[in-house]
Amino acid sequence: MKTVAIDVGDLLTALSPDEVGRRIGEVPGVESVSVDHTAHSATVQYDETRVKVADIKSLAQRPGPGADASSAASTGRGHEGHATAGASPERPEPASGHSGHGNHDKHEGHSPAMFRDRFWLSFALTVPVVIWSAHIQELLGYRAPAFPGSDWIGAVLSTVVFIYGGLVFLQGAWRELRSRLPGMMTLISLAITVAFLFSWVVQLGLIDAAALWWELATLVTIMLLGHWIEMRSINQAEGALKELAKLLPDIATRITDGGEEKVAVSALQNGDLLLVRPGESVPADGVVRKGESDVNEAMITGESRPVKKREGDEVIAATINGEGSLRVEVTGTGEKTKLSGIMRLVADAQKSKSRAQHLADRAARLLTFVAIAAAAITIVVWQSVGAAIDFSVVRMVTVLVIACPHALGLAVPLVVAISTTLGARNGLLVRDRRGLEEARNLDTVIFDKTGTLTLGEFRVVAMSVADGLAEDEALRIASGIEAESEHPIARGIVKTAQDKGIDVPVAEGFRAITGKGVAATIAGTEYHMGGPALLKAENVQVPQALLEAAKAAADSGRAAIYLVREGKALAVYTVADAIREESREAITALHERGIEVAMLTGDAQAVADAVARELGIDTVFAEVLPEDKASKVRELQAQGKKVAMIGDGVNDAPALATADIGIAIGAGADVAVEAGHIVLVRSDPRDIPRIITLSRATYRKMIQNLWWAAGYNIFAIPLAAGVLAPWGILLTPAVGAILMSASTVVVAINAQLLKRAKL
């Protein structure tokens, strides 16, 4: 699967973004397309085995209404790139969550506040229209006060409601029709326009019938209320992550040669040294140069526990410092912080369309034509059986209203907006929504070993001590001896002691013994440390228990280091790339979900088998060269398996791109992150089963919403047309609008329940 960015600027002068997206999306082999009219580009993901870039471009170059061939042809400029290129998190598409309605950006320039204001004014005008309606008076058995001109209350106020409240729908319908993509706005506009014109014909006495003033006013008012609720839901889902930006402080404390100074965060530059006091937000990405503190990173990584930060550790902008004071050197500001990167990825993912979204688009367009046809049939049938014209018009208007594909258009986008944001707030960044959509079908997960299942650093993974010596004491002595050595194994022993909170003693007389090990004096006692060569050279006596421990280490391809004093071995340390504590839990969780686990590594077979046995991994690929990793992925795919690849390094990028779903560890190389469909902010393998849980929960909500939205119309359209009229059951347009809005509310509430999913 490849991604290409196509320049469609000239096409966008004549066509809507959805029309351009629809044309490109119809090319066989195109998986997803996202049109960004602010960047004048279309980002297309396609199967390179089924379609060529030139074919996609040629379809995009077809002139639309008002565009000549020459202008269209000029849009052929394209370049290979990733979906995140050129993304603008500050100005996401206003209606990215609504594109599923199968129409142009129908809420372009709109806001919840606009719909709210129009609703309340329309509501205030609708109340007197309803009170002075002859139909309502007769129905409820009361008499409204009569005065000169009272007969015109409905006509005048409903006209104001139609113009003021209905203008937004009329404008949306015009954009839909201009794009040749009639949808929800078209249906609403047809309904209110027919009711408006018919009522004025009646009001002027041109025909003898009942005007539809109260139906018109209530219909517009209820539709405004429904759109207000819808836009609030979408904005809350899409805007939740942006709340993180508010955690960034406006002012930072910069340390200079002259002391401390307060500066705007926007003025910070790489290399600045900042003072972050207890309880303050970290102003920018950086590295701790002095101090120690626990930092709350939950808002970025989803990790609930504060993370200990020491000298040399990285800190992330917008995280909250604990009780310690930190001096931080700035490494990233503004758009180059991890927070901005997260927001950019989320914005891109929410704007792109997955296959489920395209399905909803097509269904919404189909429903629009079905509704118009049903409305036409309704008025023809009722007129043919001799019904009054006003009765027939009311039936037609009710059909148009009740069949609006409102809920269908909201079914998928709202779920996507919520799931994408929910994932981001738990440290799961969706670069490509297809990846999240397909994760539910995974049956095999491949982990790169080093840096993913393991720390990528040496640690003491096992030790055995002679009688009379405590393990912590043996580790304390060993760390003191190795403290001055730069050898990776020595650093691993020292780091293990530090991780356990053991104070590393100061050694004297440290010296390296060529080919054998090292020696040093601690508290007046000289110790040696080394491998089998040291034992042989010094003729060291080794207890049987230590020999057995060393043999077990050798059998698993791990290093065994001895601690020696006065010719006697006191302890043996098994040193290896340490397995992450979280790895066992992650693999157990994957097995519980019925998913096989494989491991890729360039390590020797013995080392790989030892890690696999400890973690319960099903399949091991050892001694794999970097360039062969992708072939191992294809090997599993050839067996019919749906494969996810998890990696963090440059040499993992081809395998990530080859896998059905590539999941990149966010702490890894940038190229690996770019190759992944999903990025993990944390280097925590437990996030893999969380992705699958989120994918399955998201899919369930999509299907539930699609069934509800489509199934509702199966019953609603015949009911609105009046099939139950012989039994006295009729729906007014206002009731139809309420039912349509209710279906939208059900879909919105069901989507919101996704927030309760436990990842």
Strands 559-565 and 568-579: antiparallel
Q: Is 463 helix (H, G, I), strand (E, B) or coil?
A: strand
* Cβ contact 557:489 at 8 Å: no
Q: For residue 332, which amino acid is it? A: G
Other C-beta atoms closer than 10 Å to the C-beta of 476 total 18
Rounded CA-CA distance 348/436 in Å is: 14
Q: What is the DSSP letter of 449?
A: I
* Cβ contact 566:541 at 8 Å: no
State phi, psi for 130 to the nearest 5 degrees. -70, -40
* Cβ contact 214:130 at 8 Å: yes
* 250: annotated active-site residue: no
Q: What is the DSSP letter of 250?
A: S
CA 26 to chain centre: 25
Rounded CA-CA distance 127/142 in Å is: 15
Residues in the chain: 759
The angle formed by the CA atoms of residues 435, 436 and 437, to the nearest 5 degrees, is: 90
**Annotated active-site residue in 10, 18, 285, 448:** 448
Q: For residue 758, which amino acid is it? A: K
State phi, psi for 87 to the nearest 5 degrees. -70, 150
β-partners of residue 314 are 287
Q: Is 317 helix (H, G, I), strand (E, B) or coil?
A: coil
> Element (H or E) spanning 598, and its range?
strand 596-600
State phi, psi for 672 to the nearest 5 degrees. -70, -40
* Cβ contact 626:448 at 8 Å: no
Active site amino acids: 448
